[in-house]
Structure 1
Amino acid sequence: MHERGIGFEEIIQSIADGNLLDIKLHHNQEKYKGQKILYVRMIAQVYAVLYIKGDKDAIFLNTLFPSRKAKKEFLKNKK
């Protein structure tokens, strides 16, 4: 189930609600070629969601985790 207390369903709903903050390439493209990271706001936290694109624009969500670094970057002036 949800080890981190949040699942992909909640992330997808949050994106649909307009809480997608950014999309970036994974910093290690040599090892994770083509992988990108969605940064999604969920209440007072920012989650990093790793994903790859498949055929015909299908997106495969790989993993998600709360990111303190992204929280500082995106929510630094918000309380």
Structure 2
Amino acid sequence: MIPIRSGKKQTEFLLSTLPINQCFFCGKNGNPIMILVKMRSPVQFKVLPIHMKGKLMLDNQNAAVSPPVSLQNAQMVE
């Protein structure tokens, strides 16, 4: 979970396969693709893996401007 805005509770954040401090690509040849997650309701920031469900959206746009993959109306799964 990579927060977009500061705060303990997040409604929009980026989801990455690796924690940002373990990202092999950071500072090298660009970043791996990340998924933009838009939650139904705010969730507590976590550094551990999380499980979610929602509507997967694919968009044909410039990845430098906005992630082309997003999870809309997402909610946590226990």
TM-score greater than 0.5 by the shorter chain: no
Name whichever structure is richer in helix by fraction: 1
Structure 2-normalised TM-score?
0.28
Structure 1 or 2: more strand by fraction? 2
